[in-house]
Amino acid sequence: MDVEDGTSGKMAYVFHELMMWHNAGTIQNITGFVEPTKHWENVDTKRRVHSLLAACGMLEKPQLVHVKAREATVEELARVHDISYIEKVQVRSLDPFNGQHMCGDETSFSPGGFKLACLAAGGTLEALKAIMEGQVSTGYVLCRPPGHHAERGEGAGFCIFNNVAVAAAAAREVYGLKRICIVDYDVHHGNGTQHIFEGDEHVLFISLHQDSNYPLHSGAVTEQGTGNGEGFTINCPLPPGSGTGAYTAAFERVVLPALEAFRPELVLVSSGFDASYADPLGAQILSSQDFRWMATQLKAVADRHCGGKVLAVHEGGYSEVYTPFCCLAVIEALAGTSSGVIDPFLHEVSNWGYQRLQSHQDAAISAAEQVVALFKSKMQA
């Protein structure tokens, strides 16, 4: 691991140019009259995040420790993925004659894509290592491709390998942690992460997502884990149109009480920004300040229970213009410093109607509260 001048209280930042070369192809359906256009999961949003960090001087802040990504090994991936699936991606990646390869629903990659997916997972592991060795307290991994939809045996939703799950498994097996929490605020349900850990009582998975967006009929409040992990999956599906009021209430009534009861030794975050008001793949109305507030709350929980250990891994977020400001807000919160950048769109979205908690949103959160009450009873027992 290559870490420059890392000390406790700082934030690891992982970025690798090769991850920006991941090519998911194009969106097109000739028979359905969908004219070819660039893929949702294209390089622009992530590159523009990194560009904003560079332009505003954030990358030069002493609080940021630049951690070099590496490729995850097959053995590291196999903690959460089937060997047969890993090998399938690897073999297809070696075929230079097919421009695009599929490895699951809505998941494609170009020749050489295996290496880039391994960099995303391996970069996440290097950030985890920096945190666990005390060189930093927090981390942000700006990676492509994303990961939280990837299942054990197949990719899904633009995700090849489940980066945050790879980190959680390493936290268990390499560092011996017994209480790992994954908070997923991406607008889409983290189906892959849930399924990988739904039988594991050592991993608490909490998801705030738009109800029945992607995958369809996934992430219902009734999905609460299986076997030894029953109760350790908490889903809070929110209605379309949810904004500051709904997400604040969901955090205060669902996420934070569950975390306090669990007393995590590590907080992992699937950090997707597609719940922003400008995103083309979601119907929520969050601002950069909402993401900043959520990150601040998670950091405060980690400060109380695990020495501030928070690792955020980039997932979705498809607004080329607005995603960078949302991601910057989270990075500032985790690094404990400010770039001085003022979100130029904040006044607009903050004053949209229906930002306050609505009655139908309150009902959805109340249903998840009942799950948290059962979880707290389980932890007390």
Give the integer Cα–Cα distance in Å for 64 and 58: 8
For CA atoms 279, 284, 287, 293, give the dihedral sign: negative
Q: Which of 16, 22, 148, 149 is catalytic?
A: 149
Contact 136, 176 (CB under 8 A): no
Alpha-helix runs per DSSP H in the chain? 44-55, 74-77, 83-93, 113-132, 163-173, 191-197, 244-250, 256-262, 288-305, 323-335, 346-350, 359-380
Q: How far is CA 337 from CA 132, 189, 236, 256, 329, in A?
A: 22, 30, 31, 23, 10
In three state form, how does the secondary structure of 273-336 look?
CCCECCCCCCCCCECHHHHHHHHHHHHHHHHHHCCCCEEEEECCCCCCCCHHHHHHHHHHHHHC
Q: Is 149 noted as a catalytic residue in this protein? A: yes
Give the integer Cα–Cα distance in Å for 149 and 155: 7
Say which residue the tokens 């930093």 belong to: 136
What type of residue sits at position 87? E
- Sorted by sequence, the CB contacts under 8 Å of residue 306 that are 6+ apart come out as 264, 265, 266, 267
Give the integer Cα–Cα distance in Å for 118 and 124: 10
Which active-site residues does the annotation give?
Answer: 149
